Chains A and B, each alone.
Chain A
Amino acid sequence: MRQSKIMPGFRPALGYTLFYLGLVVLIPLSTLVFKSFQLSWQEYLAVITHPRVIAAFRVSFTTALGAATIASFFGFVIAWVLVRYPFFGKRFIDAIIDLPFALPTAVAGIVLATIYQPNGVIGKWLMAWTGIQIAYKPLGIVVALIFISIPFVVRTVEPVLQEFDTSMEEAASSLGATRFQVFTKIIFPNIFPALFTGFALAFARGVGEYGSVIFIAGNLPYVSEIVPLMIITRLEQYDIPGATAIALTMLIISFLLLLIINLLQMWIRKRSGQL
């Protein structure tokens, strides 16, 4: 971009940006790092390797992974249907996809718990027909996280599908490819980076999610207790160093995940030549 000499407001705009960023985000976040220095390495390890904490990490990561995978499948189908097929009420359906972004998580939490509890609308039915209980089990966490995840996948795949150049499909079909081949060799590889981004965003959000999960999870230690709840439990016991250690570990893992995701994406883009 060309540097403009006459544009006004550089110093006040940048100055205010840095000041406000520091005050609202950076200083508060840095407390997490400094507070954890109060713990020795041994004390830190003792907090983190406590079996209940390890179990919480396992629950959080496996449920978020499962939910993001399931949401990726359904999100892809929904994006495909929305972009490729004409049907009645499409605009309306398209708008409702963002409901999980707009609906406060506490509301989502109590509603999902009500639906899936053993005498809820779906819970009762599932209980009678399959004997599976969803609410107050790890499966409940997965259901809540699928709800949270779906717009992430649809909203990253949809624009890429929309801009997808159908002349590639035409070229393949004129060379004799079947529909199945066109899909697996042309469409899917081109959509995959977007689908993976949606999956990763959903996963990262799912690991930290709190409001929609706690009502449906049952919060049983070692079984359905998530890391954010673990942090709150420590805080309520006035174990602030413990809460800080768990929070910092989780923050570092999420940043590492984001870094890996960004690198993977760069690699995928380079390989498919769409830099």
Chain B
Amino acid sequence: MNTTHQVIGKRQQQALTDPVWIRYGLITIAMAFIGLFLFLPLAIVLIEAFAKGWTAYFNALSNPDTLSALRLTLLTAFLTVPLNTIFGIAAAWAITRFEFPGKSFLTTLIDLPFSVSPVISGLIFVLLFGSQGWLGSWLSAHDIKIIFAVPGIVLATLFVTFPFVARELIPLMQEMGSEEEEAALSLGASGLKMFFLITLPNIKWALLYGVLLCNARAMGEFGAVSVVSGHIRGLTNTLPLHVEVSYNEYDFVGAFASASILAGLAIVTLILKSILEWKQSNA
């Protein structure tokens, strides 16, 4: 009797856990894939950037075109991230705190930019503001440049990063409910006081998470910006566009030096993202 029990117990255990060879086989496959597709590219960025030594690397970075590309990238993020953050908070407030017809349709519309190809996201602004576009003749008559200029880059970036903050906040605020906010209001708090003392502290980690993702995309966007920028050196090249221009001119150290800044940004984003995920799960 004892032995049959042991046999059944052993068989059950086998049906619940994977055999050792499968376990190690799968771990090996996963690690090989991650090494090949994720770690190797990161390593190659640094190897290529320093291929001709430190001086070449720092010369490439201190090139005026690189610096102006970096400035434009920072400026774009500085303008787009706050605008989309304010929108995200307003949209999440309207959608999660009130009932109105067409709510789920509105939620779908907010996610729309994610399903549009980056190139199309740029094209639509050319159709609107370009020389053959709707407002093209009016704009050129008033000497306002949007396409092949900084405003076009900002607009295209606004479009591609549009949903990030809203889509982090909506599920969280839905789940949170509004009891705490209602309590504050019924105790006489003003709307603004309730928002800054109750709502904002409750959503801060999710909000920062959305801002982080929005910022990473705003600084790294390539396709949409490439369509509207016109690639004017020192004027309308963002850092990702500068990477492309340098690479196509066979200036590999220059391309990878700029790429190393963007890779650094990606790594910082991943680290902050892990910290925020940890904060959120412990909140």
List the interface of chain A (C-beta within 8 A of B). Answer: 1, 3-4, 6-10, 12-14, 16-18, 20-21, 24-29, 31-32, 35, 74, 77-78, 80-82, 84-85, 87, 91, 93-108, 110-112, 114-115, 121-122, 146-147, 150, 166, 169-170, 172-174, 176-179, 181-182, 204, 207-211, 215, 227-229, 231-232, 235, 238, 240, 243-244, 247, 250-251, 254-255, 258
Chain B residues, Cβ within 8 Å of A255: 115
B210 on interface, CB distance cutoff 8 Å: no
Check: B62 CB closer than 8 A to any chain A CB.
Answer: no
8 additional A-B residue pairs with CB within 8 Å, beyond A100-B38, A232-B119: A13-B93, A21-B87, A77-B29, A94-B274, A101-B216, A103-B220, A104-B221, A178-B14
Contacting pair A110 B255 (CB below 8 A): yes
Asked if B262 and A103 sit within 8 Å, CB to CB, the answer is yes
29 of the cross-chain contacts (CB-CB < 8 Å) are A4-B182, A6-B186, A8-B185, A8-B194, A10-B94, A10-B97, A21-B110, A35-B127, A98-B270, A104-B219, A104-B222, A105-B223, A105-B240, A110-B244, A115-B40, A121-B40, A169-B16, A176-B11, A204-B115, A208-B117, A210-B119, A210-B223, A211-B118, A235-B126, A240-B127, A243-B123, A250-B117, A251-B116, A258-B115
Q: Does chain A have a CB within 8 A of B65? A: no
Taking a contact as CB atoms under 8 Å apart, the answer to whether A244 and B123 are in contact is yes
Task: A215 to B243: give the CA distance in the assembly, Å.
Answer: 11
Q: Are B247 and A31 in contact, CB atoms less than 8 angstroms apart?
A: no
Q: 4 nearest interchain CB pairs?
A: A208-B117, A104-B220, A173-B15, A8-B191
Candidates A4, A105, A115, A235; contact of B220 at CB < 8 Å: A105
**Within 8 Å of chain A (Cβ to Cβ): is B197?**
no
Is B37 located at the chain interface by the 8 A CB criterion?
A: yes
- Interchain CB contact under 8 A, A1 and B99: yes
Q: How far is the CA of A211 from the CA of B194 in the complex (A)?
A: 44
User: CB distance A254 to B117 under 8 Å?
Assistant: yes
Contact A110 to B259, CB < 8 A, known contacts A17-B91, A210-B222, A211-B223: yes
- Interface size in chain B (residues, C-beta < 8 A): 97
- Specify the chain A residue showing the minimal Cβ separation from B224: A210
Whether A211 and B162, one on each chain, are in contact in the complex, defined by CB atoms closer than 8 angstroms, is no
Could you tell me if A14 and B98 are in contact, using CB atoms closer than 8 angstroms?
yes
* Interchain CB contact under 8 A, A172 and B186: no
How close is B17's CB to chain A, nearest CB, in angstroms? 8
B227 contacts A232, C-beta separation under 8 Å = yes
Q: Chain B: which residue is nearest A82 at the CB level?
A: B30
- Are B37 and A102 within 8 A (Cβ)? no
**How far does the alpha carbon of A12 sit from the alpha carbon of B93 in the complex, in Å?**
10
The one of B19, B93, B98, B222 that contacts A105, using a Cβ cutoff of 8 Å: B222
How far apart are the CA atoms of A26 and B128 in the complex, in Å? 12
Residues of B within 8 A of A21 (CB): 87, 91, 106, 109-110
Q: B235-274: which have CB < 8 Å to A? A: 239-241, 243-244, 247, 252, 255-256, 259, 262-263, 265-267, 269-271, 273-274
